[in-house]
Amino acid sequence: MFESLSEKLQGLFQQLGKKGRLTENDVNEAARQIRLALLEADVNYRVVKDFIARVKDKTVGQDVLSGLNATQHVVKVVHDELIALLGENGGPLATAPRPPSVYMVVGLQGGGKTTTCGKLAAYIRKQGMRPLLVATDVARPAAIQQLQVVGSSVQVPVFQLGTKVSPVDIARAALGHARENGFTHVIIDTAGRLHVNDELMDEVVAVREATTPQETLLVLDAMTGQDAVNVAEQFNARLDVTGFIMTKMDGDTRGGAALSVRQVTGKPIRFMGVGERYDALEVFHPDRLASRILGMGDVLSLIERVESTIDAEEAAKIEAKLRSRRFDLEDFAQQMDQLTKMGPLEQLLDMVPGMAQLKQQMAGQPLQVDPKRLAHMRAIISSMTPQERRNPEIIRGSRRRRIAAGSGTSVQEVNLLLKQFEQMQDMFGQFAMMEKSGKMGKGMFGGKNNKKFPFSF
């Protein structure tokens, strides 16, 4: 996400940091490079022009804020302007005075609209609500079946009346069904087309007028760049959309659409899709995304993801086992499963402050996270007997060969896993001893140490 733009901006700021005091020519050159980086990221030209004008206005000839040097001042200005560009927080989704709240989801075919409906339903269901998905796409073959598969995956019912009933009548009937059966939210999946056309617009306008939704959400494919901005303008002109959901943000290294659509339309981005899983839908926070772009990390989003996937009681039990060195391979496998639920490790690392700088310092040796390594480790542990998982010390030659054969790995990989697990036990045992002796602050990760975490994924 924004990898290309992020690398260019961070590289520029590192160069500026070496200069110490900045001249007006330095700022002008920096502005030129920022302009090129934004244009290469496929940001709308008009948006780039206004952005650069504001950055220069707040840096050239302005007093540097107390406590900041000139370079830090430029970084702060760019950070603040990125937040302004991305827009203020859209706030929570609007709700009806009395249930159900109606959310109409629109967009072009192939942009991930139906899948996004499922993600939105999963997001609402996770908050303890009762959403209902509604299939009004009667034109595309198998569209209803696709939504039913999505609904089954997220455990949300789908209302449909087949392909012989008009979308407007289906939507009206769905609202009545929702009221009678206590559904809190109705999510209408409308028909998409390969191109914006009058037929599509007339249909979705009719559905909108019949249902008066609290939110009209336009799904935009981030990887289409400026085309997404053009689509946003056309849909907004006819439907007066209330917000956008950007899909495939994890696959777009440029990010120009996300940086343009708010400025061009004046409407906020509400969510962004960051993966294929149904829980890979993040609330859009402009300030957090601006920090990610500039390599400052996103600790709040990381904490939220941890809290949503890690069971607090189980975490406390694991910590107690680590302190007493009773942590076994069954516990380790459980931790790997929880880590996998949090999403791709590359995404998690990008949320850690300073990780972007570390990546740049390792030029030529990029920091890579291999998910296959985790899968192999999990397979090895699964091929062990319960006794072996609880007592790894009994795993000798013949057992290691059997485990390797059962997991489809090599004896060397089994040896490596057991060695790393032993190192981890020793490390946490030392942490516990240091904590008891007062040489380390409370919490096993609270002190400063130079130990390298033993796992290399």
**What's the pLDDT at 433?**
62
For the stretch 398-409, pLDDT in tens is: 999 999 999 999
Contact 127, 262 (CB under 8 A): no
Is residue 446 over pLDDT 60?
no
The C-alpha atoms of residue 27 and residue 19 are separated, in whole angstroms, by: 11
Q: What percent of the chain has pLDDT over 70?
A: 74
Q: How confident is the model at residue 453, as a pLDDT? A: 33
User: pTM for this structure?
Assistant: 0.67
Q: What is the tens place of the pLDDT at every residue in 357-389?
A: 545 444 444 445 566 777 888 899 999 999 998
Side-chain half-sphere exposure of 384, counting CA atoms within 13 A: 25
> For residue 134, what pLDDT band results from cuts at 50, 70 and 90?
very high
Task: Collapse the DSSP code of 159 into the 3-class scheme (helix H, G, I; strand E, B; otherwise coil) and give the result.
Answer: strand
Lowest mean pLDDT among 117-131, 187-201, 259-273, 392-406: 187-201
Q: Which amino acid is at 305?
A: R
Give pLDDT tens digits for 67-101: 456 777 788 888 888 888 888 766 789 999 999 99
Quote the DSSP letter at residue 222: G
Q: Which residue has the higher pLDDT, 73 or 146?
A: 146
Q: How confident is the model at residue 216 (pLDDT cuts 50, 70, 90)?
A: very high
Per-residue DSSP letter, 113? H
Among 171-175, 295-299, 354-358, 376-380, name the most confident range: 171-175
List beta partners, residue 186. 102, 132
Give residue 293's pLDDT. Answer: 78
Tell me, what's the pLDDT at 182? 94
More confident residue, 187 or 59: 187
The pLDDT value given to residue 200: 79
Which domains are seen in the chain, by residue range?
A: 3-86 (1.20.120.140), 101-301 (3.40.50.300), 310-437 (1.10.260.30)
Q: What is the average pLDDT score of the chain? A: 79
| Nearest in space to 249 (alpha carbons), one of 276, 288, 229 | 276
Cα 287 to Cα 280: distance, rounded to the nearest angstrom: 19
Q: Check residue 158 and give its pLDDT.
A: 96
> Residue 363's pLDDT is what?
46
